[in-house]
C-alpha cells in the first residue's frame, strides 16, 4: 500500500516500530491518550520510528510532537508524559472546537472555518511549525486533497501529494497541519494552504507536476476521507502498532427515504468497506512479509487476544464507548476517563500479545475510579 519515496527510506528506520493513530474526533483523541500511556509504560513509545495520524489521532499526535523534545526519558520511559501531553489534551477536549470554528469562521473578516480551527489548535501548539518537530520519531499528519483525491503527507521532511509532487521541508504551522488532517467534511473543511509553486519537486508518477491549477493552493479535508486508519505511511515497517478509534459500522432495520440521510448512509458504507479492505490487506501483507501487527480497536474484544488478562471489561460499557460521538465538542470527566482506560487496556493486550509477551498482566486501570 505504501507509495515509493526515497526520502522516507533515508529518514525512517523501518526495522523499528511505527504507530498509526486513527480518526474519530475527540473520542479518538482520548482513546489514543490511553494507548500512548500504555505504550510509554511498556517502553515502546521511545522506540517508535514513525507516528502516522489522522483527524482526532492527529490532535493527540500533534501534542506529542510538540512536547517530544521536552519529554524526560528514563530507561526508555517518559516520566512527564502525563504533564506535558495527556493533561493538556484532556483540558483541550473539554472545549467546543467545532462549534467555535463554524461560528467564528463564518463571521470573522479575513478568516474562514479552517483558519479558526487552526487557531484553536495553536492554543496547544503555541505557533510552532513542522520544522520545530524532532527528526525522530517522524510525525506524519495525513490529510486529503479535495482536488486530486490523494493523500497529502504533512511532516517535517516534506509535504507530499504524489499527483503533484513534493515540497521539501515545508514551513507550515503544526496547527495548520493538524487542522487539515482533522477538517471533517463538509462542516470543517477545506483547510487551504498557499504554497510556492517553485518549491515543488517532481516525484515518480505525478500527473499534475508544474500545473498552476494544482500547485499554488491546496484545498485539504480530513485525512479520514482517504485513509481513516493512517496506515498507508507505516504499513511497510517491521512492527506496525495501530490504535483504531474509528466509528464501528452498524446495521439499520429500515432504509431512509430522505435523500440526505441516504447519502450519509452510503458514505458510511463506503468508509467501512475502505477501512475493512485496508485492515485485511495489512494483515495479509504482514503474513507474507513476516511483519508484527499489534492492532487495538475501540470495538475490539479483549478476551480474544492471546495475552493473559486480569482486567475484564464490561461488554455493555465497551459498546457505549465505541458508540460515543466523534465531534470536537466537550467530553466530561467520566467520558474522558473511561475512553482513556479503554484505549490503555486495548493497547495493553495488543502489545502483550504480539510485541512484549513477557510483560505481566496489569491489575488496575491508570484511572481506577472509572473502570471499563
**Residues of 312-334 as b/e, b for ≥16 C-beta within 10 angstroms?**
ebeeeebeebbebebbbbebeee
Residue with cell 473578516: 109
Which residue among the candidates 5, 53, 55, 189 is catalytic per the annotation?
55
Residue 141 and residue 158 in contact, taking contact as beta carbons nearer than 8 Å: no
Residue with cell 463506503: 270
SS3 136: coil
DSSP string computed for 294-327: EEEETT--GGGSSS--S----HHHHHHHHTS--S
Hey, what's the cell of 303? Answer: 478476551
Which residue among the candidates 115, 161, 222, 348 is catalytic per the annotation?
222
SS3 193: strand
User: 3: burial class by Cβ within 10 Å (0-12, 13-18, 19+)?
Assistant: middle
Q: How many CB atoms lie within 10 A of CB 252?
A: 9
Rg (CA), the chain: 20
CA distances from 52 to 48, 140, 190, 191 (A): 11, 5, 21, 19
Q: For this structure, is 222 an active site residue?
A: yes
| Residues with catalytic roles | 55, 222
Amino acid at each position: 500500500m505504501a507509495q515509493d519515496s526515497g526520502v522516507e527510506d533515508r529518514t525512517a528506520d523501518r526495522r523499528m516500530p511505527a504507530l498509526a493513530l486513527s480518526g474519530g474526533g475527540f473520542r479518538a483523541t482520548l482513546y489514543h491518550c490511553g494507548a500512548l500511556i500504555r505504550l510509554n509504560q511498556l517502553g515502546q513509545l521511545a522506540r517508535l520510528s514513525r507516528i502516522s495520524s489522522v483527524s482526532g489521532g492527529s490532535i493527540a499526535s500533534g501534542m506529542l510532537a510538540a512536547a517530544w523534545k521536552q519529554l524526560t526519558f528514563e530507561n526508555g520511559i517518559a516520566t512527564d508524559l502525563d504533564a506535558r501531553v495527556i493533561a493538556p489534551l484532556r483540558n483541550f477536549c473539554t472545549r467546543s472546537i467545532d462549534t467555535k470554528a463554524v461560528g467564528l469562521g463564518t463571521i470573522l473578516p479575513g478568516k474562514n472555518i479552517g483558519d479558526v480551527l487552526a487557531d484553536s489548535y495553536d492554543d496547544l501548539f503555541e505557533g510552532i511549525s513542522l520544522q520545530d518537530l524532532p527528526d525522530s520519531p517522524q510525525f506524519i499528519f495525513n490529510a486529503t486533497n479535495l482536488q486530486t483525491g490523494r493523500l497529502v503527507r504533512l511532516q517535517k521532511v516534506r509535504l507530499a501529494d504524489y499527483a503533484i509532487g513534493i515540497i521539501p521541508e515545508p514551513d507550515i504551522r503544526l496547527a495548520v497541519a493538524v487542522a487539515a488532517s482533522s477538517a471533517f467534511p463538509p462542516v470543517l473543511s477545506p483547510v487551504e494552504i498557499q504554497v510556492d509553486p517553485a518549491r515543488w519537486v517532481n516525484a515518480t508518477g505525478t500527473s499534475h507536476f508544474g500545473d498552476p491549477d494544482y500547485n499554488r493552493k491546496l484545498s485539504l479535508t480530513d485525512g479520514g476521507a482517504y485513509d481513516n486508519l493512517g496506515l498507508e505511511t507505516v504499513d511497510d515497517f517491521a512492527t506496525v502498532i495501530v490504535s483504531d478509534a474509528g466509528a464501528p459500522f452498524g446495521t439499520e432495520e429500515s432504509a431512509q427515504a430522505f435523500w440526505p440521510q441516504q447519502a450519509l448512509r452510503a458514505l458510511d458504507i463506503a468508509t467501512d468497506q475502505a477501512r475493512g479492505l485496508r485492515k485485511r490487506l495489512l494483515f495479509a501483507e504482514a503474513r507474507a512479509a513476516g511483519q508484527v501487527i499489534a492492532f487495538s480497536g475501540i470495538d475490539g474484544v479483549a478476551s480474544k487476544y492471546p495475552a493473559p488478562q486480569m482486567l475484564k471489561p464490561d461488554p455493555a460499557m465497551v459498546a457505549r464507548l465505541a458508540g460515543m460521538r466523534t465531534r470536537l465538542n466537550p467530553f466530561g470527566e467520566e467520558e474522558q476517563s473511561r475512553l482513556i482506560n479503554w484505549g490503555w487496556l486495548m493497547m495493553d493486550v495488543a502489545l502483550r500479545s504480539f510485541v512484549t509477551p513477557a510483560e505481566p498482566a496489569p491489575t488496575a486501570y491508570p484511572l481506577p475510579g472509572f473502570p471499563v
